[in-house]
Amino acid sequence: MTQHLSDEPDLLSLVRCAAASADDKKASEPLIIDVGEVFAISDYFVIASGASTRQVHAIVGGVEEGVRRIGGPSPVRLEGVDECEWVLMDYGSFVVHVFKQEQRDFYQLERLWGDRPLITWEPNLHSEVEPA
């Protein structure tokens, strides 16, 4: 059965889903940076961090699951999963960087790409349901 192009999520939906999925795993300050005009091999960076290697691992799993759940691909490449200090999830058109907080503070990718626009995103609503 052939899937129509309109059935596939668009790039921004995938990127926003990655940020929201990281947030679902209690990632610290997930953000999206538009690097497309100055970085030839990717359009967006998603940056998030966890307090421990265990949390970094959970965030990575949550992002993979969330992107897959909306019809997105698996990462083309994963680096750093064994150490979980800085995991790079390469999806081609976007890259997800999940840091242990100390590494995020040290490498400061937000500062390096500080002149690039940030993309807004919303947390997944299902994780914020309040009792009636």
pTM of the model: 0.86
Q: Report if residue 84 sits inside a domain.
A: yes
Burial class (CB in 10 A: 0-12, 13-18, 19+), 96: buried
- Look at residue 33 and tell me if it is in a domain: yes
Is residue 27 a part of any domain in this protein? yes
Give the residue from 103, 105, 97, 60 showing the smallest Cα distance to 85.
103
Report yes or no on 72 lying in a domain: yes
The count of C-alpha atoms lying within 13 angstroms of the C-alpha of 12, restricted to the half-sphere facing its C-beta, is: 6
| pLDDT value, residue 1 | 37
Position 65 in a domain: yes
Divide the 132 residues of the chain into consecutive groups of 10 and give the mean pLDDT of each group.
56 96 96 90 95 97 96 96 96 96 95 90 61 38
pLDDT, position 36: 87
Which residue range forms the structural domain that includes residue 86?
9-117
**Does residue 2 fall inside a structural domain?**
no
CATH number of the domain residue 88 falls in: 3.30.460.10
Does 78 map to a domain?
yes
Domain count for the chain, please give it: 1
Q: Is residue 85 part of a domain?
A: yes
